[in-house]
Chain A
């Protein structure tokens, strides 16, 4: 095994496959390495692919071709306490017609399809290949070795789309290991239910889907839970910060068990058949944690580049990954045409990302990663909201208080004046 390519893309996830597709369409000799027996079998996410311009540009009819489950019609943000739920649901006709805002899907199916599109365009997909080491020549990356196999693969440029752990990015010295406080662990259980039951329980029709994010469902740990509807399955899971998880000493699947037994959740998943259990890490350091994105002969894309963010309302990663893959491929095409693979030339990649929504959005919400470390958000505010709602609706013969007074009294009781001020500043800087 010794071969040469224009570009080696490591990792046939959304970033890697779209990079390979773009390069192959430009007539470049591109090799796409995947460590699974087939693309997608190592990958999981909560469940939502948002509308992504680069995907629609490269595959205009992707909504007909891609293996998608349901389009998201209903978005719910819910706050849970032990025995109550306060939620806000947005269901809109605007999300119920093309261009759809997002689709639920499965990664083995979606990633497999996307890699096949790259193959069809002429990329060489090599499954069963775990990239082990970067080959460095004259201070520049010039290929990779594959674990457990003799020989080397050579290329002018390597695009490392090798996921959140990015062993290659670390080897190249572009990034450090993950820090527990800036990393989320996502675990998920896929539950089978008849289509009609899902439609009935979630109030959906046809291909309509629901996306529910829940705060306060993670046993006091910083994190959140999610529920996504697929056609005949429901994805349920949670994401917790690794430092909070480690400090709690609680196994994450126990927390998930508790969540599934919450009165607001129990009836949604009642009688469902457990089908698959999965886990994955998420880069949650935000803008400030973005590593160096390129070096001589090397670019990082997708989770490997830490391109992912949450601000409590938006949770985005796969669209950022796909966009970064295409921009890395564009840069590689320009570099191949110029015959220059040095770090200086490849710095164009960083500039392209900075001009795109990828880094712009991450920058806009650069304070959100800090906000997500306010412990109060995950336990005290859900309880505060529930207390206010209960008092608003409770009829017990006692004189009522006007709304503002009620909120002030409950907030002072739950978080105190100092807490409100400190949290208010953090939340305000992040979102307002």
Chain B
């Protein structure tokens, strides 16, 4: 299964406030951008043309992988406000 199909299986209560903010300037010079491949929900995208790293926080599974593998201090990562974010029904 591809990742779009996988994250569609999971339910989210999306907050209008982002709980992850990337510092694109820092990401531009990051030697690895490990977050892009490591994120299990494929929230991070590196655009070679614009040299921009972007994050889609709406389908974040709140695992913390990105924050852990980022050694550049480029992430402002926190849990969403109470009641928002991922909502596992079964698992």
Contact = CB atoms under 8 A, between A and B. Distances in A.
Interface of A: 34-37, 40-44, 106-108, 127-130, 146-149, 164-165, 167, 177-180, 183, 185, 187-190, 233, 242, 245-246, 248-253, 257, 274-281
A148 B82 contact: yes
B49 interface: no
Contacts of A165: 64, 67
Given A130-B81, A130-B82, A279 B63 contact: yes
Contacts of B68: 177-180, 183, 242, 281
A281 B68 CA distance: 10
The 9 A-B pairs at the shortest CB distance, nearest first, are namely A128-B83, A128-B82, A246-B34, A279-B40, A148-B81, A277-B6, A279-B61, A279-B63, A130-B82
Contacts of A246: 32, 34, 37-38, 69
Nearest to A183: B68
Contacts of B88: 40-44, 107-108, 276, 278
Contacts of A190: 90-91
A201 B70 CA distance: 42
B13 interface: yes
Given A35-B79, A252-B38, A279 B3 contact: no
Contacts of B82: 34-36, 127-130, 146-149
A25 to B, nearest CB: 26
Given A185-B40, A185-B65, A280-B63, A274 B5 contact: yes
A42 B86 contact: yes
A185 to B, nearest CB: 5
Secondary structure dominating the interface of B: loop
Contacts of B7: 277
Contact of A185 (B1, B63, B80, B87): B63
A276 B42 contact: no
A210 B85 CA distance: 32
B37 A278 contact: no
B91 A188 contact: yes
A424 B80 CA distance: 46
B37 A250 contact: yes
A34 B85 CA distance: 13
A277 B10 contact: yes
A243 B89 CA distance: 30
B62 interface: yes
Nearest to B7: A277
Given A37-B83, A108-B90, 20 more contacts: A107-B88, A128-B82, A128-B83, A130-B80, A147-B78, A165-B64, A190-B91, A242-B69, A245-B38, A245-B65, A246-B38, A251-B38, A252-B38, A253-B1, A274-B1, A274-B9, A276-B9, A276-B89, A278-B61, A281-B63
A242 B6 CA distance: 21
Contact of A251 (B10, B42, B87): B42
B65 A276 contact: no
A275 B90 contact: yes
A178 B89 CA distance: 27
A275 B8 CA distance: 10
B41 interface: yes
A253 B61 CA distance: 13
15 contacts: A34-B82, A36-B83, A108-B88, A108-B90, A148-B82, A165-B67, A178-B68, A185-B40, A185-B63, A245-B69, A250-B37, A274-B6, A278-B86, A279-B61, A281-B63
A277 B67 CA distance: 20
A247 to B, nearest CB: 8
Nearest to A186: B63
Contacts of A180: 68-69
A107 B40 CA distance: 19
Nearest to B35: A246
B10 A281 contact: no
A210 to B, nearest CB: 18
Nearest to A185: B65
Contact of A257 (B1, B42, B87): B1
